[in-house]
Amino acid sequence: MDTATLLPVALALLAIPVTALLLNRLRFGRLPPGPRPWPVLGNLFQIEPVRCRCFAEWAARYGPIMTVWFGSTPMVVVSTPELAQEVLKTHDQHLADRSRNRSSERFSRGGMDLIWADYGPHYIKVRKFCNLELFTPRRLEALRPVREDEVTAMVESVHRAGKEGKPVAVREFLATVGFNNITRLAFGKRFLNAAGELDEQGREFKEIVNNGIKIGASLSIAEHIRWLRWLTPVDEVAYQAHGDRRDRLTVKIMEEHARALERSGTSKQHFVDALFTLRDKYDLSDDTVIGLLWDMITAGTDTTVITVEWAVAELVRNPMVQQKVQEELDRVVGRDRVLSETDFPNLPYLQAVVKESLRLHPPTPLMLPHRASAAVKVAGYDIPKGASVTVNVWAIARDPKAWDSPLEFRPERFLHDNIDIKGCDYRVLPFGAGRRVCPGAQLGINLVASMIGHLLHHFTWALPDGTRPEDLDMMESPGLITFMRTPLQVVATPHLEKEELYKRVAAEM
């Protein structure tokens, strides 16, 4: 083939990316830089499984604000405290909607819950209900015996399993307390029979959760490429059956609470009771009531487990930090009683350990994407209407411009400065910030502090014989939330002498 024939072909091939670039510029404006996308696919096949690390590496190359293409849809990722503040405060009003895929659209009934709702009258109403009714200091204090019951039940289980110095898989015990705690707070039920096994409703609950994960994970690459969706249509029958099953269980539990209320004449403090008794006052639909209860399950079950497992991993790698917490606990609580949440104000180093754990290992390392309801400019770049924006919380926690020795587990940094972790300081954002900050942040902090505090008050933690700190796998698992890739195995040696202090402190409520 001669040069005259090849030239038009070469020019045509060159014209394709140039044309695509010009069309994107006309459609989206001046987007932030980023990895070069493939036609149609965008960057989908370039993204590594642990996205927070992948995006942090790309930010080092392309800058702290960049564009990642999910198919033909741009997502803007920011990775510094200053840019996070611009997204979550300066332009918060126009960047507070929620990007929903086909799965979350159906699970949330079109955003009728809180997590997946767009910012508007519905979101404001539900948010007000959460702030004024669900997560008030009074309600959290009333439910404190439930949390302490479940944490002391965990201590009893660890003590029984860890005898003779056998290593324990700490995640298993944390998962049990996480599940029991959130179901009791939300539904007012401990889904266990007298033998300590899941009862019929508990098994149904677990199956609903697992089935939801399975359905959500079934969506393919076509989720990001609209014109391929005809190849993988959503299984509407499966979504409908899942939703109906979830609703039946929730309504059944609510009816049990209604009958109990009718018999006693007084409402309890569980979240389901608040929703049942106050739904008319706040004009909450059935979809919103059920959606809110399951939002709590989704947001509150695994996140505490993740945080505490990472914390224990850091503590066995840093035995001097563990010793300082235990010395504080022995001094304030003593060795003749168990820890209570009422002790927290007198335990500043324990609180610093909680904050440092949430800084270095945020359970949701990339914020759930926000969606632009109007075109805005961030750092001089265009964020078009409809684009997704996310904050790399994990990368900000490792920014040497924001933190001294950011990779070190150093709780002392929170003793020297009064650093807020509930959305006011953009260097540490485990609960988000702005209009979409997590309303249950204080509940999460209390539970994490209680779990870490009890584990350290009752036990001294160490790696199994022959395992060195540098042998621990400190890599995250892929996913929206990031467990330790390799479940932690540790040895728990009793720290308190009195055997009765390792017993569950049961609370019937």
Annotated binding residues, written as ranges, equal 438
228: closest CA among 35, 434, 40? 40
Q: Is 381 exposed, middle or buried (0-12, 13-18, 19+ CB in 10 A)?
A: middle
Taking the C-alpha atoms of 192, 482, 113 and 237 in order, what is their torsion angle to the nearest 10 degrees? -80
CB 481 within 8 A of CB 363: yes
Q: What is the 3-state secondary structure (H, E, C) of 327-355?
A: HHHHHHCCCCCCCCHHHHHHCHHHHHHHH
CB 185 within 8 A of CB 271: yes
Buried b (16+ CB within 10 A) or exposed e, 93-116: ebbbbbbbebbbebbbbebbbbbb
Q: Rounded to the nearest 5 degrees, what angle is found at the Cα of 267, between the Cα atoms of 265 and 269?
A: 160
Q: Rounded to the nearest 5 degrees, what angle is found at the Cα of 448, between the Cα atoms of 341 and 343?
A: 20
**Bind-site residues for heme:** 438
User: How many Cβ atoms from other residues are within 10 Å of residue 250's Cβ?
Assistant: 22
3-class DSSP assignment, residue 263? helix
Structure tokens at 408: 């070190």
Q: How far is the C-alpha of 438 from the C-alpha of 450, rounded, in Å? A: 19
Q: How many residues comprise the chain?
A: 509
CB 418 within 8 A of CB 389: no
Q: Which amino acid makes up residue 450?
A: S
Q: How far is the C-alpha of 274 from the C-alpha of 231, rounded, in Å? A: 44
CB 341 within 8 A of CB 446: yes
C-alpha distances (whole Å) from 274 to each of 178, 181, 189, 246, 446 are 21, 17, 15, 19, 21
- Helical segments of 318-440, H only: 319-332, 348-360, 393-397, 413-416
Backbone angles phi, psi at 337, to 5 degrees: -150, 170
* Termini Cα distance of the chain: 84
* Residues paired with 377 in a beta bridge: 382
Q: How far is the C-alpha of 416 from the C-alpha of 429, rounded, in Å? A: 19
